[in-house]
A and B are shown apart, each in its own frame.
Chain A
Amino acid sequence: MTAKDMVDRGFVAKPKESRMQEFLPVLVKFSGKVAAQVVPPLVVIVLLLLVWHLSTMGVKSNLPGPLKVLHGSWELITNPFYDRGGLDKGLFWHISASLQRVAIGYSLAAVVGIGLGVLIGQSQWAMRGLDPIFQILRTVPPLAWLPLSLAAFRDSRPSALFVIFITAIWPIIINTAVGIRNIPPDYRNVARVVRLSPIEYFYKIMVPASVPYIFTGLRIGVGLSWLAIVAAEMLIGGVGIGFFIWDAWNSSQIGDIIVALIYVGVVGYFLDRFIALIGHWVGRGTSSM
């Protein structure tokens, strides 16, 4: 029923505008709620664009202003799907190439990381032995692994995957191990009284109990692997968002770089939300106690 119908009926029956009176406040309240969410970010974005525009107005400015970017990189913004062969492709293809690398490297890191985390979380001895090593290795910057992996694999493709793998795995291992160690002893006691087998204990209690921790690790991991891939691709070359940025720099297309950065940020954001969403879905209710 549309608002007009309501008005019409209201007039026909003359019930002192009751329907409109009920409907209007609800509508106003709802749009007020939406506005409260949408208006602040819009205002901030407009202000930022203004600052950007004003600060790049000078003739000698090294960086393009928003209008110049819009003008100079129009095709890049409006058509992400063009493909003229070689490296001259739309941003969609670059992003998707990078995402494929992340998907492979990150999946490997997730599987191995959760496995190792479970092992370490269960064994005091393994925790004591491996934790110091992990704590040191996890601080090594992603790109520092690249020369080593290039030397080992002698090929850029597996090297890029290895860099993602080694970057993402540490937070996954550490968080999983912490999650396993933090399972309340009472859950273990319940399992013992009921006499669950070790396998039943693993998938009925251990995994669900540590899901919030595991997904914290997975979220940090996916953010790190997205950081790593952009950096790694700059050095390795080929199709990919990292090399696209490097290529734009070499051909002085600063506007293209800015567009690419926005893409990288947005994709990174959605990767994070995506993992968070899966975590929320898998761990229904686990974290709400």
Chain B
Amino acid sequence: MSAYLSIEGLGMTFTGASGRSEVLRDVDLKIDRGEFVAIIGHSGCGKSTVLNIVAGLLESTTGGVMLEGKEVNEPGPDRAVVFQSHALLPWLTVYENVALAVNKVQAKKTPAERAQWILHNLDLVNMTEAKNKRPSEISGGMRQRVGIARALAMEPKVLLMDEPFGALDALTRAHLQDSVMDIQQKLGNTCIMITHDVDEAVLLADRIVMMTNGPAATIGEVLSVPLPRPRRRLDLVADPTYIACRTRVLEFLYARERRPSTQVA
């Protein structure tokens, strides 16, 4: 049986001024339709590189990515990206930022249908009221919401999130995580999320992919999170399964794969 999205024998070697550096080696991962996968690892382990290759923004040195049996070799709206820096265009309003994607991706719809679709997606992330504001006039959390709305509005087959909440404070992050779970519940998207936050990974993901440290990073361990949905943050605090998953990931990150800088040479 072939998977919905499959990453096969992925390797990445950058050739720069300081010579060649192998970032990824033999990354293999199969993801089912509607599955939420979190990729976790220390910074610099190449997890963003994996995401960028799936997005088509980077070209892998070896191996490749197959989506519904077709090879991915360029970026496209079927693999929409939520960027860590939100990447909203500052001269456009919230509405226009989503419209930029919708008008291009959903060109077959009539203008009225498109307008409705834009508003529908803004509503999904609770940003309807701020639709005429510019990114500079809204908070970091709200910008990230718009980034998510823009990605969702492309109706992607896979939603790719590159540390989407990394730059936000803990409370705002929790709020957005709840939103993402809500939306995931409604739409059943296939998601890949890059994160360095253990709680975030356990809370959101069906499976957690743990990456070893570079150079030549690869997948060290894959952990299924058998928690029922909908999940609620407060209920999970004392949940034995939650604690077990959390401990497992922490052990991987801090016992097996310590930060390169803290390792004794």
Check A285/B75 contact, CB under 8 A, given A189-B57, A189-B83, A200-B104. Answer: no
Contact B85 A184 (CB under 8 A): yes
Q: Cβ of B77 and Cβ of A187 under 8 Å apart?
A: no
**CB-CB nearest in chain A for B80:** A193
Interface: B174 (CB within 8 A): no
- Residues in chain A near residue B89, CB distance under 8 A: 187, 190, 205, 208-209
Query: Closest CB-CB distance, A46 to chain B, in whole Å?
Result: 42
- The residue on B at minimum CB distance from A284 is B91
Per the CB 8 Å criterion, the residue count for chain B at the interface is: 24
- CB of A289 within 8 A of CB of B135, answer yes
Residues A184 and B87 in contact, CB atoms below 8 Å apart: yes
For the complex, is A186 an interface residue (Cβ under 8 Å from B)?
A: yes
> Given A186-B85, A283-B91, A285-B91, are A193 and B79 also a contact pair (CB < 8 Å)?
yes
A195 pairs with B77, CB closer than 8 A? yes
CB nearest to B151 among chain A residues: A193
Q: Which residues of chain A come closer than 8 Å to B75, judged between CB atoms?
A: 189, 192-193, 195
Assess whether A285 is in contact with B136, with CB atoms less than 8 Å apart: yes
Within 103-141 of B, Cβ neighbours of A (below 8 Å) are at 104-105, 134-136
Distance between Cα atoms of A200 and B103 in the complex (Å): 12
Q: Give the distance to chain A from B186, nearest Cβ to Cβ, in Å.
A: 23
When distances are taken between beta carbons in the complex, the residues of chain B under 8 Å from A286 are 90-91
- Complex CA gap A192/B134 in Å reads 22
Chain B: which residue is nearest A190 at the CB level? B87
Chain B residue with Cβ nearest A208: B91
A250-289 CB mask vs B (1 if < 8 Å, else 0) is 0000000000000000000000000000000001111011
**Cβ contacts under 8 Å, B87 to chain A:** 184, 186-187, 189-190
CA–CA, A204 and B77, complex, Å = 18
For the complex, is B100 an interface residue (Cβ under 8 Å from A)? Answer: yes
In the complex, chain A residues whose CB is within 8 Å of the CB of B136: 285, 288-289
Which residue of B is nearest A282, CB measured?
B91
With A193-B76, A194-B77, A194-B154 in contact, is A289–B83 under 8 Å at CB?
Answer: no
> Interface majority SS on B: helix, strand, loop or mixed?
loop
CB-CB < 8 A to A209: which residues of B? Answer: 89, 91
| Cβ-based interface call for B227 (8 A) | no
What are the residues of chain A within 8 A of B134 when measuring CB–CB? 285, 288
Nearest B residue to A207 via CB reads B91
Residues of A within 8 A of B101 (CB): 194
Residue of A nearest to B156 (CB): A193
Q: Which residues of A contact B135 (CB under 8 A)?
A: 289
Q: Is B81 on the interface with A (CB-CB < 8 A)?
A: yes
Within the assembled complex, what's the spacing in Å between the Cα atoms of A186 and B100? 15
Whether B83 pairs with A186 at a CB distance below 8 angstroms is yes
Chain A residues positioned under 8 Å from B56 (CB to CB) = 192
Interface centre among A190, A209, A283 (most CB of B within 10 A): A190
Chain A window 158-187, contacts with chain B (Cβ cutoff 8 Å), 1 for yes, 0 for no: 000000000000000000000000001011
- A171 to B105 Cα, complex, angstroms: 38
Taking the closest CB of chain B, its distance from the CB of A128, in whole angstroms, is 15
Chain B 159-175 near chain A by CB (<8 Å), digits 1 or 0:
00000000000000000
Asked whether A193 lies within 8 Å of B90 as measured between CB atoms, the reply is no
Within the complex, the shortest CB–CB distance from B239 to chain A, in Å, comes to: 37
Chain B residues near A284 (CB-CB < 8 A): 91
Cβ-based interface call for A196 (8 A) = yes
Residues of B within 8 A of A205 (CB): 89
Asked if B23 is an interface residue, CB under 8 A from chain A, the answer is: no
A14 to B87, CA, bound (A): 60
Known: A200-B104, A285-B136, A288-B136. A193 touches B91 (CB 8 A): no
Q: Is B55 an interface residue (CB 8 A)?
A: yes
A209 to B89, alpha carbons, bound, how many Å?
8
Indicate with 1 or 0, residue by residue over B84-99, a CB within 8 angstroms of chain A CB atoms: 0101011100000000
B85: nearest chain-A partner, CB-CB: A186
With a CB–CB cut-off of 8 A, which chain B residues contact A184?
85, 87
Q: Is the CB of A195 within 8 A of B76?
A: yes
Given the interface pairs A186-B85, A286-B90, the reply to whether A193 lies near B100 with Cβ below 8 Å is no
| Closest residue on chain B to residue A288 by CB atoms | B136
Set of chain A residues within 8 Å of B77, measured between Cβ atoms: 193-195
Instruction: Collect the chain A residues with CB atoms within 8 Å of residue B154's CB.
Output: 193-194
Residues of A within 8 A of B90 (CB): 285-286, 288-289
Interface residues, chain A, with chain B CB atoms under 8 Å away: 184, 186-187, 189-190, 192-196, 200, 204-205, 208-209, 211, 283-286, 288-289
Which B residues fall within an 8 A CB radius of A? 55-57, 74-77, 79-81, 83, 85, 87, 89-91, 100-101, 104-105, 134-136, 154
Closest 9 CB pairs of A and B: A186-B87, A289-B90, A192-B75, A208-B91, A286-B91, A285-B134, A288-B136, A193-B75, A194-B104
Query: Can you report 9 A-B residue pairs in the complex whose CB atoms are below 8 A from each other?
Result: A184-B87, A186-B85, A187-B89, A193-B80, A193-B154, A195-B75, A200-B104, A208-B91, A286-B90
Please give 5 more A-B residue pairs, beta carbons under 8 A apart, in addition to A205-B89, A208-B89.
A184-B85, A189-B83, A194-B101, A196-B104, A204-B100
